[in-house]
Amino acid sequence: MNLEQLRVFVLVAQLGSLTNAAKTGGIAQSLISRKLTQLEDEWGDRLFHRTGRGVVLTEFGRRIQPHVQLLLAQTDRLREEVKHVAGVPTGTVHVGLLPTLSREVVALLFPDIRAMAPAVRLQITEGLSGHLDAQLLSGQLDLAIINRYGSIIGNEEDILGQVESFVVGRPGAPLFKGKTVDFRDLDGVSLVLPTAPNGLRSVMEHNARHQGIRLNVVLEVDSLSTMQMIAMSGDVFTISSFLAVEKEVTAGTLQAQKLVNPSISRTITLSITKHHQLSRASRLVASRVRHLVPVLINDGVARAKTYMDLSQG
């Protein structure tokens, strides 16, 4: 039994004639007869009585006809649904985010993807750049937003924006006596920084050696919230982007001043796994990241500039 045989059965039942069914369906009458015979052989009963004017359904044919029509209607609905759904992204997309951007990116990306592709599920992993790179390499992540320092950026990475680094600590701390914080002023200052190896740590240690100062890292931790908590609690400072601490700075629980001489710029990139081909859903999420995150970063940079102008005024 196949759908073509069932359609022939329904067509003949409606028209009451093999000849008319052949003309309407564009099928040879001999082929129609063969398909009906195949059904009758499989089902073990006759479907039609032949009369001088055509054919009429047998009792068996009348009983089976509604079931066949229902099945064909369901098949047609399935075909239309497949056409509608074909090309619609579905599935889980594994996204890696830096702790410094996670809160803002998720708040922007989640409702955007939910509105555009409700069948796509985001699975967010927070981590520092080194951890995210390792998970991209192993295929645990499909894509990740990562910090890069200096000019070393992968060929397949998309640059989303660039932000400066700020010294962050307790409001009113003596270190914040000026309008900015010179890198040299960090000599001996208690710092809470990410665990080495780390891009920021490497740049800071390089600059410290170049300037002949000592970085006093009293605590290593890979949690942004913990670094912020320690910075709030006393004379211990951390280094962060303004966007990551903007809410705390606005609330007055933290203070941030730009690190200068030298400054430390972070290039924020979108990196794609090379472990496997991206699904349609992953490609959609990557596209939306390229569209949304640069705006988020640029807005954050503008607010950081406004904050610096006001604090310096």
Instruction: Note down pLDDT in tens along the chain; length 313 residues.
Output: 899 999 999 999 999 999 999 999 888 999 999 999 999 999 999 999 988 889 999 999 999 999 999 999 899 888 877 766 777 888 899 999 988 888 889 999 999 999 999 989 999 999 888 889 999 999 999 999 998 887 666 667 899 999 999 999 999 999 998 889 999 999 999 999 988 888 888 899 999 999 999 999 999 988 888 888 999 888 899 999 898 888 899 999 999 999 999 999 999 999 999 988 898 899 999 999 999 999 999 998 998 888 887 776 5
Topology given in CATH for the domain delimited by 3-85: Arc Repressor Mutant, subunit A (1.10.10)
User: Under a CB-based contact definition with an 8 Å cutoff, are residues 256 and 242 in contact?
Assistant: yes
Task: Report H helices in 58-121.
Answer: 59-85, 99-116
**Which pTM was predicted?**
0.69
User: Under a CB-based contact definition with an 8 Å cutoff, are residues 9 and 45 in contact?
Assistant: no
Cis peptide before 197 (omega within 30 of 0): yes
Residue 243: φ, ψ to 5°:
-60, -35
The token pair that represents 66 in the structure block: 């509604």
What does the domain layout of the chain look like in residue ranges? 3-85, 91-312
User: Under a CB-based contact definition with an 8 Å cutoff, are residues 108 and 298 in contact?
Assistant: no
Scanning the structure block, which residue is given the tokens 């830096």?
Answer: 98
Topology given in CATH for the domain delimited by 91-312: D-Maltodextrin-Binding Protein; domain 2 (3.40.190)
